[in-house]
Every structure is written in C-alpha cells, then in structure tokens.
Amino acid sequence: MYKYIIRRILVFIPMLFALTIIVFGLAQLAPGDALSGKSLADPNVDPEIYEQQREALGLNDPIYVQYWNWISSAAQGDFGNSLIFNGRSVMELIEARFANTLYLGLFSLAITIIVAIPIGIYSARKPYSMLDYGATGFGFLGLAIPNFFFGLIAIYVFSINLGWFPSQGTLSSPGVSGFDAFTDRIHHMVLPGITLGLAGTATYMRYMRSEVLDVLGSDYIRTAKAKGMSERNVLYKHTLRNALIPIITLMGFEIGVLLSGAVITEQVFQYPGLGTLFLSSVMNRDFPVVMAIALILGILILIGNLIADILYSIVDPRIRYD
C-alpha cells in the first residue's frame, strides 16, 4: 500500500511539470499582456512607462526564458508577484481566497451529504412515494438549471425581496470574531453554498437511491432478511456500508467538478475565492496568478483522486493496490 502511494506521488511530478508547460504556453499565447489592459485606463500616464515596466518584469524576454525563470523560482516556492494587483505577492493573494473557496466547497459538500443521503435512502426504501417523486423531480431539475441562473434567482428572491440571506461576501463586517464569525460566515454561505451544491445534491441523491435499491435487491440482503434480521439492522449494517462505497469514491473525483462550479458561483455572489481570482487573472493576463492557481488545483485534484483510490481499497477489501 505505502509503496503504491509513493509510486503514485512520484508519477505526479512529471504530470505537474507537463501541466505547467501547457498552462504557461497557453497563457503566453493569449493576445495582449497584463500591462496592455492597464494602459487604456488612464491617458495621463505615458505609455513609455509601461514599456519600461515590461522590460523590467522580463515580459519582453523569449518565452523559454520566462518559463525557466518562473519554474526555477516556483520550485523554490516563490510564485512571484501579481502583474495586475500592483505587484503584490501571488501567494499572499491566493492564501485568503483559497481558504474562502475551501470553506464554500466544504459547506456545499456538507449540504449535499446531509440532504442527498437521507433522502436517497428514504426514496429507495419507499419507492414511488410522494417524497420519492418529489426528490426525483428535484433531482432532475437540479441538473437542468444553469447554476448561475439559479443563483441569480436565489439572490433576487431570498436576498433582495425577502432579506433572509446576504448575497455578497463572506462576513458582515471585519470586526466579528469567535463564534459570531462562524455563524456569520455560515449565514453568508447559505445561498452560494446551495447554488454550488445543487447539481451535486441532485446527482448524489439519485446515486444513493439506486445504490440502496441495488443492495436491497441483492441476494445477501434477502438472506439476511430471511434469517430474521430486523429491517433497521439490515439497513444500517449491510445496506448502507455497501451503498456508500461508490459515493465515497465519487467524492474524491468530485473535487474538479466542485471547483469548476465555484468559478461561476463565486462570480454570481461576488464571493472572493479562487474562482473569481482565476477568472479575473485570465482576463487580465496575470499569468503568475494563473500559473499558481493552476498548479494548486492540479495538486488538489491529484490528491483527491489518490485519496479516493485509497478509501476505495479500505472500504472494499477486494481491491488491492501493490
């Protein structure tokens, strides 16, 4: 097992390397650079100044020189300075956003699990009941609504008209701390969290339902029931454990989907996370930030996949890695 993990991690390195080359190439191919967008903002600034800054930043160097400069400092953990945020350190910019996105992701995952699993189980136990129909209907709808659209309507209804939840940001003021800060943060994450988790909830709900149905119909459960085990016992001892296996695996791979969704959801709610930062950095050609985020996401997804594989082998001992 350990050997397997180490081998997997060793494979990561060339893959991450390839990833940086691809993203760097794309970032450089894009027309214009970080300073070209700035220069139209203020006609009182002599464009010559931007030319001097370009030279100083090495933006006029050949692409392989720029890549080498980037990769050699990145290897030492230095991701350089942002070109758009007036030269602020990339790491510092990403740090706070990363935490925000992480909270949002975890929160929406929590909603997904809390909603999807019980309802999925209930639907499977009482198929064709009212709730089952409701849940299935919701499941289909959740997959059919573009999440930005859902977010816009949620803001309009729950934030503007009803005033139940804030529509912007992560906290109501910089002063809050302690437990208040925690509840405040949750309060701010309700709308974006639901929006982000919508599609996931729908998917998991349907998965859970069908997995439980599959397990309930299988021979060993029938045997267990025949042996006189109580309904409850059958459900919790056998059914759930087996039905959860695919769900757990799915979640490891779900990180990428969640992060994709975050790009759009964060935009709708002006939520200061990695998604909004990435989007604005791509648009403004802030390649040091783009590179750093791509690298971080790449590592996250690789780790997510690895954990999923490991968990899979733990819950299902038939699977072995060596």
Partner 1 sequence: MLKKKWLLFFVLMLSVGFVLAACNEDDSSKEKENKTQAEGGDDGASGEPQKGGTITGAMDTAPAGVFNPIFYEESYEANILDFTHESLVSQNKELEFEPHLAKEWEINEDQTEITLKLEEGVKWHDGEEFTADDVVFTYKAMSTPGYIEAGGIRSSEYAERLLGYEEFSKGETDEFEGVVAEDDYTVTFKFTEPNVTILKDVGFSIIPEHIFGEVPIDEMPEHPATLNPGEVIGTGPFKFTEMLEREQYVLEKHADYWKQEPYLDKIVWRVVDQSVMLGLLESEEIDFIADPSGVPAPDYETASGIGHVEIIEQPDFGYQLMGFKINHRKDADVEAGKIEPDNWVPNEDMSEQKVRQAMAYAIDREALVDNLLYGHGSVINAPIAQQFWAYDEGAATKYEFDPEKAKALLDEAGYKDTNDDGFRETPDGKEWVVNLNYPTGNKLREDSAPILEKFLEDVGINIDLRQPKEMTAYQEELEKDNSDWDLYLLGWSLGSGDPDPVGLWNATAPYNYSRWNNEESEKLLKEAVKTPEAFEQEYRAKKYSEWQSVFSEDLPALLLYAQNKIYAHNKRLNGINPMPYSYNNEPENWWVSE
Partner 2 sequence: MHTNLESSLPTGPENAPIDQQYQHKTPFQLAYQRFLKNKLAVVSVFVLLAIVIVCISAPLLTSQDPIETDVFNIEKSPTDEHILGTNGQGQDNFARLLYGGRISLIVGFSAMFFTLVIGVLLGSIAGYYGGKVDSIIMRGADIMLMLPFLVLVLTIMAVIDKVTIGLFVTIIALTSWPNLTRIIRATYLSLREQEFVLGARAIGASDVRIIFKHFIPNAIGPIIVNATLMMATYIIVESGLSFIGFGIPQPTPTWGNMISEAQNIRILRDHPEAWIPPGLAILITVLSINFIGDGLRDAFNPKSNRR
Residues that bind partner 2 in the complex, under the rule CB under 8 A: 15-16, 18-19, 22-23, 26-27, 29-31, 136, 140-141, 143-149, 152-153, 156, 160, 206, 209-210, 213-214, 217, 255-257, 259-261, 263-264, 267-268, 278-279, 282-283, 285, 290, 293-294, 297-298, 301-302
Q: Closer to partner 2 by CB, 185 or 286: give it.
A: 286
**What does the angle CA 300 – CA 112 – CA 197 come to, to the nearest 5 degrees?**
70
Residues 14-33 that bind partner 1 (CB under 8 A): 30-33
196 touches 108 (CB < 8 A): yes
Residue 238 partner contact from partner 1, partner 2, none using kind-dependent CB cut-offs of 5 to 8 Å: none
SS3 321: coil
Q: Closer to partner 2 by CB, 32 or 174: give it.
A: 32
Contact string (CB under 8 A) for partner 1, positions 155-194, x = contact: xxx-xxx-x---xxxxx-xxx-------------------
Q: Tell me the two tokens of residue 102.
A: 């992480």
89 DSSP assignment: B
Total interface residues for partner 1 by CB under 8 A: 64
Residue 66 burial (CB count, 10 A): 18
Instruction: Kindly state the smallest distance separating residue 301's Cβ from partner 2, in Å.
Output: 6
Q: Closer to partner 1 by CB, 11 or 45: give it.
A: 45
- The verdict on 51 binding partner 1 (CB under 8 A) reads yes
Cα–Cα distance, 292 to 290 (Å, whole number): 6
Cα–Cα distance, 26 to 249 (Å, whole number): 32
Task: With contacts defined by CB under 8 A, name the span among 65-73, 132-140, 212-220, 313-321 that binds partner 1.
Answer: 132-140
Write the Ramachandran bin of 158: left for phi over 0, alpha for psi from -120 to 50, otherwise beta: alpha
156 DSSP assignment: I
Instruction: Give the phi and the psi of residue 4 in degrees, each rounded to 5.
Output: -60, -45
User: Which has the closest alpha carbon to 169: 149, 148, 151, 184?
Assistant: 184
Residue 76 partner contact from partner 2, partner 1, none using kind-dependent CB cut-offs of 5 to 8 Å: none
**What does the angle CA 133 – CA 134 – CA 139 come to, to the nearest 5 degrees?**
95
Residue owning tokens 């982000």: 196
User: Which has the closest alpha carbon to 105: 189, 204, 199, 207?
Assistant: 189
Q: Closer to partner 1 by CB, 105 or 304: give it.
A: 105
Residue 298 partner contact from partner 1, partner 2, none using kind-dependent CB cut-offs of 5 to 8 Å: partner 2
Question: Residue numbers of the site for partner 1 (CB under 8 A)?
Answer: 30-34, 36-53, 56, 84-89, 96-97, 128, 133-134, 136-138, 140-141, 144, 152-153, 155-157, 159-161, 163, 167-171, 173-175, 269-270, 272, 283-285
